[in-house]
Structure 1
Amino acid sequence: MKILIITYSYTPDLTPRAFRWSALAQQFLQLGHEVHVLCAARLSQEPAVSDDGVKVHRVQDWLLNASRRVTPTSTSTTNPPQSTFVHKLKATLRKVARAVWRTTYWPDFACGWIVPATAAARQLCTHHDFDWVISVSHPFTGHVVGHRARTGAGKAKWLVDIGDPFHLMSEPAPNNQRFFSRLNRFVESRILANADAVCVTTESTRQMYKVHFSVPDEKIRLAPPLLSLPALPLGAPPSTRPVLRLVFIGTLYRKLRSPGYMLACFEALLSTISDRQLELHLYGAVNDCTEELAACPVQVRSSLYVHGMVSRTQVHEAMLDADILVNIGNDSASQLASKVIEYMAVGRPILNLISIERDTSVQALREYPATLTLIRASEGPTLNELEKLRAFVLSPPEVSFCEVEKIRARFSAAHVANLYIAQMTGQPEP
């Protein structure tokens, strides 16, 4: 088959969609398909290039070069920013500018990509006669481009791959929902109705779309989060250093994925574990949580390391080097962070901090042998929770290499790619 993938974010961007679809594009290629990718350009007039056989076509966003925010060139720091007057002033100005921008754009921050990407997609469809066009979200702009490009797609069928819901998403909201809620629902409904196939990453999301948009069973399928990590080194010895290292990897948002409860748990641990030094390392964008990190007590701040956006190699090394991996659940019953799968795939103990009982991470980690899940019911852990937390950190259960290999096979790029191919060819799920 000849396949066109429309995705705003693609390698080397450090986003879940970029990781997922760069791996899937390579898998499609290895299965003998011709693969083209249309994505946002980081440089103006960047030509099409071949990425190990995948033809990558980059088109610049007219308004916002968002790709620059999610590349390995982002700065790293060894401790959280200090709460100074200059820092607060800059943060306030950024908030004002962001608020003004967010009240006006539609469908999301990538709206400036719609016109140039649509023109490029139509041209590619005319020249290459694709069998399938796959549009990817987040951001939802990718589906708008896919929908507009259908007029020039000829015989090509259209698969809509949904990483995050759009109209049904409240935090972080894709746009100003007070102004655009009806438009959001109308456009998403049109896209789902016109698509030939729909893919989602969690069962709860599939049920949500069946209920709210009446998407038929035969049209919507499940393609779980994808593992895009190197092979696990054999016989890696456990750490013998005196420091216990807790590592969180992911993007923080004040309303969706706040670090507050994690910081409170870490502060409580510092007060109860005096014979071992503790460190908490954060990898990824902190967004609007900068002030919350800066306002930490001194004893927490001295053991807190904020690394920012780093390369995938550094992320993998950090996971392998961690004593405890920390997951902060979304305030959402439909989203599952791909890092939960990656955490399991390195075989480290996982501290799972959630805000709602229906958090999708609970189901994903149900059979993982080294998990402690705490539900945030207050600003910090109770005495009973702290006792469990202390015991888990000091003596976590072990995960066998055999168990890790089973997880890696279940979420491998090869397996997930075959799920998409089966859907496009009308075959039963493998």
Structure 2
Amino acid sequence: MRILVFSFEFLPSDAPQALRVARLMRELVACGHDVDVIAGAGPASAVTYEVIDGVKVHRVNPGGVDGLVVWMKRARSGQGANGPTAAPVPMRSGLNWKGKCIQSIRKMMDVFLFPDARTLWINAAIRSARVLVADRGMPDLLIGSHEPAVGAMAAMRLAQETGVALVSELGDPILATYTPRRWQQRALRLERDVCERSAAVVLTSEATARLFDVRHGVASKLHVIPQGFDPPPFVDSDARKGDNVLRLVYTGRLYPFRNPMPLLRAVAGIPGCELVLAAPELPDDVEEFLSAGGTGCTWLGSVPHAEAVRLQAGADLVVSIGNAGMTQIPGKVLEYMGSGRPILHVRPDEGDAAAVLIKTERCGYVVDAEVSQISSLLVDLVARKRNGTLEEGLVVGFSAFEKYSWRSLGQQLSAVCERVHSE
């Protein structure tokens, strides 16, 4: 089956959705499908076309200030449409003055454009799709990806224009707790339109599926395909047991709806406990706390995904911080399940779906986001590390969670696509 995908984010972007879409599309190719992805060009890649894991990726200028940055990068590189893959961009822990200026302009544009400034990419993406269709013929199926919503919006427009069946790989709600108030009604309408016009809607959790059924009454269209993982690299377990220090590792982003402060304060008060944070940027309160010193915490800044996976595999415990007030399960939780290490999950509220999953799968420890409770658990975990019982009573190891591997999840998405195509 020929499948045309709209996803603003795609590798080598470090956005979580870029990894999800890239892995799922890789597995669709492994299932025998022919997959083209129309993505947004970004500073991490100056080329307009490349093949990644068998997926044909067509990068389209995102427009606006980001489009200007991409245009300048391409002009400096002197690359044509089929030039070699750009070298990876070095990871940095912060923005220089140019980056801060661009970020400020982008935020101003976000005030006036729905859902944000990336909507300027849609028209160019549609034009690119029309050229592709003229060259290769009509695809058998369209897939629209969210986050950001512009991928789903572009796919929906082309589906209306061509009559090709649409699968919307939303993952999470378009209307979420972090949606700006000015856009909440429009986000809800867009979410409803996507559900009505799609033959199938893919979400990452059962809790989100229940929310969509309440909002839109489309239970028959909903399919839950969570985040996933690839098998981790080999790590010598004896090296991990070499001392009595309990090593915690957090790899991911610290969004406003994830509060790490209770954990940081608890770690700072427990001898023999260390926390490594591999996060692109730190909230102001976290940065101030770490700057004070004596916290038992180390910040590495942004690291490549492969390095993040190696850090996870070498940890005693991998740390997850739940999304407050949301139905989503952070993708890192599923990645952690494949890391071969127990999870320490900080639960922000009783509605946290990730906590339910971790308890159900018995793959880690769940604690409420209270300093006293976290401290008490850490004291116990330090003792468990020293007497070799840290994993006792838990299910640990990626082979135990094969159903959450990208291979298995890609096969599920392939089945959804084939069912839609056959109807």
State the one-letter code of the partner of 1:330. Answer: N
CA distance in structure 1 between the aligned counterparts of 2:146 and 2:391, rounded to whole angstroms:
36
Question: 2:111 corresponds to which residue?
Answer: 103
Deviations 1:223-279 (A, max 9, x none): 12121344555766533145432211111123x01221121221222xxx2xx3x43
Question: 2:91 corresponds to which residue?
Answer: 74
Q: Which runs of 5+ in 2 are unaligned?
A: 71-87
Give me the TM-score of the superposition, normalised by structure 1.
0.82
Question: 1:177 corresponds to which residue?
Answer: 181
Q: Secondary structure of the equivalent of 1:381?
A: helix
Which of 264, 280, 283 lines up with 2:275 in the alignment?
280
Deviations 1:86-108 (A, max 9, x none): x9x99999997676444223113
Q: Would you say the 8 A contact 2:339–2:398 is kept in 1?
A: no
2:348 matches 1:355: yes
Distance 1:294 1:97, change over 3 A: farther
Which of 248, 251, 257 lines up with 2:250 in the alignment?
248
Greater per-residue helix proportion: 2
Q: Would you say the 8 A contact 1:369–1:399 is kept in 2?
A: no
Q: Secondary structure of the equivalent of 2:128?
A: helix
Distance 1:128 1:265, change over 3 A: farther
Deviations 1:183-216 (A, max 9, x none): 222222112111111110100100111110111x
Distance 1:389 1:233, change over 3 A: closer
CA distance in structure 1 between the aligned counterparts of 2:102 and 2:5, rounded to whole angstroms:
33
Q: Secondary structure of the equivalent of 1:112?
A: helix
Q: Would you say the 8 A contact 1:138–1:162 is kept in 2?
A: yes
2:310 matches 1:321: no
Aligned CA RMSD, in angstroms, stands at 3.2
2:143 matches 1:162: no
Which of 110, 116, 121 lines up with 1:113 in the alignment?
121
CA distance in structure 2 between the aligned counterparts of 1:10 and 1:339, rounded to whole angstroms:
17
Q: Would you say the 8 A contact 1:227–1:408 is kept in 2?
A: no
Deviations 1:144-169 (A, max 9, x none): 11112224435x210001122112x0
Distance 1:140 1:95, change over 3 A: closer
How far did residue 353 of structure 1 move?
0.8
Q: Secondary structure of the equivalent of 2:255?
A: coil
Q: Would you say the 8 A contact 1:133–1:146 is kept in 2?
A: yes
Question: 1:332 corresponds to which residue?
Answer: 325
Which of 194, 198, 202 lines up with 1:195 in the alignment?
198
Distance 1:96 1:316, change over 3 A: closer
- Counterparts of 1:214-293 in structure 2, within 5 Å, are 214-215=217-218, 217-230=219-232, 232=234, 237-241=239-243, 243-254=245-256, 256-269=257-270, 273=271, 276=272, 278-286=273-281, 289-293=283-287
Q: Would you say the 8 A contact 1:48–1:57 is kept in 2?
A: yes
Count of aligned pairs: 396
Q: Which runs of 5+ in 1 are unaligned?
A: 82-86
Which of 136, 152, 158 lines up with 2:145 in the alignment?
136
Question: 2:59 corresponds to which residue?
Answer: 58
Give me the TM-score of the superposition, normalised by structure 2.
0.84
Matched residues, percent identical?
A: 24
Distance 1:63 1:360, change over 3 A: same
Question: 1:211 corresponds to which residue?
Answer: 214
Q: Would you say the 8 A contact 1:324–1:393 is kept in 2?
A: no
Which of 368, 381, 386 lines up with 2:372 in the alignment?
381
State the one-letter code of the partner of 1:133. Answer: L
Deviations 1:333-384 (A, max 9, x none): 311111111222222232211211121111211144452222125xx325xx
Distance 1:109 1:389, change over 3 A: farther
Deviations 1:59-80 (A, max 9, x none): 0100253999xx7622149xxx
Q: Would you say the 8 A contact 2:109–2:116 is kept in 1?
A: no
State the one-letter code of the partner of 1:38. Answer: I
CA distance in structure 1 between the aligned counterparts of 2:98 and 2:297, rounded to whole angstroms:
22
Distance 1:399 1:106, change over 3 A: farther
Which of 406, 412, 415 lines up with 2:408 in the alignment?
415
Q: Would you say the 8 A contact 1:200–1:223 is kept in 2?
A: yes
CA distance in structure 2 between the aligned counterparts of 1:329 and 1:318, rounded to whole angstroms:
20
Q: Would you say the 8 A contact 1:72–1:309 is kept in 2?
A: no
